[in-house]
C-alpha cells in the first residue's frame, strides 16, 4: 500500500499557507468583494474570519473543488486607517471598514471595533 503524500501543510485549523504572490492577489480581490480564484482551480469560500491578539485579521478559506483550506493573514490597521475610523466616530457617524469601503460597518465586539469581513480591529471604545 503506497502512502499518499500530502503536500498540504496543516495550521491550527488544518489550513495551509498560500504562496506569497497569490496572497497579494487574493487580498486585493477580497477587499474589493470579488470572487476568489483557488490555487487548486475553482473558487474559494470564506469559512471563518478571526481577529488576532495584535489586531490583525485572518481569513480561512475553503477551496470548493478540493476542500483544502487556506489561511490569509491581513495586516493590522495602519495609523492612517485608525485615524480615519476615529474621525468618523468623533463626527457621530457609524464607523466603516477603511479597506472594504462604504456599507461595511465595523462591529463592536467588547471594547473593539472590528470589520466582520477582514477581522481587523480598527478602533477601541
Ligand atoms: Zn474589512
For residue 121, report the distance from its CA to the centre of ligand 1, in Å.
Answer: 9
* Residue in 50, 111, 74, 58 with CA at minimum distance from that of residue 123: 111
Q: State the distance from the centre of ligand 1 to the C-alpha of 3, rounded, in angstroms.
A: 42
Ligand 1 ion: Cβ-proximal residues, 5 Å cutoff: 97, 99-100, 115, 117-118
Q: Per-block average pLDDT, block size 10, for the chain (125 residues)?
A: 44 68 91 90 94 96 92 96 96 94 91 96 94
pLDDT at 117: 96
Stated as kind and residue range, the H or E segment containing 27 is helix 20-32
pLDDT at residue 9 in the model: 45
The string of DSSP letters for 63-92 reads ETTT--EEEEEEPPPPHHHHHHHHHHHHTT
Residue 71 in grid coordinates = 489561511
Distance 10 CA to ligand 1 centre (A): 26
Helix (H) or strand (E) holding 28, with range, is helix 20-32
Q: How far is the CA of 14 from the centre of ligand 1 (A)?
A: 24
Q: What is the CA radius of gyration of the chain?
A: 16
Distance between alpha carbon 27 and the CA centroid of its chain, in Å?
8
Which pTM was predicted?
0.83
Domains of the chain: 16-74 (2.30.30), 79-124 (no CATH)
Give the distance (Å) from ligand 1 centre to CA of residue 105.
8
Amino acid at each position: 500500500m503506497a502512502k499518499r503524500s500530502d503536500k498540504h501543510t496543516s495550521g491550527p485549523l488544518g489550513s495551509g499557507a498560500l504562496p506569497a504572490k497569490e496572497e497579494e492577489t487574493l487580498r486585493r480581490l477580497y477587499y474589493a468583494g470579488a470572487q476568489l480564484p483557488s490555487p487548486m482551480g475553482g473558487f474559494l469560500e470564506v469559512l471563518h474570519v478571526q481577529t488576532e491578539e495584535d489586531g490583525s485579521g485572518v481569513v480561512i478559506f475553503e477551496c470548493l473543488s478540493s476542500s483544502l483550506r487556506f489561511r490569509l493573514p491581513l495586516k493590522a490597521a495602519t495609523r492612517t486607517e485608525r485615524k480615519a475610523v476615529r474621525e468618523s466616530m468623533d463626527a457621530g457617524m457609524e464607523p466603516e471598514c477603511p479597506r472594504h469601503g462604504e456599507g461595511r460597518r465595523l462591529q463592536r465586539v467588547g471594547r473593539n471595533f472590528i470589520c466582520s469581513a477582514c477581522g481587523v480591529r480598527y478602533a477601541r471604545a
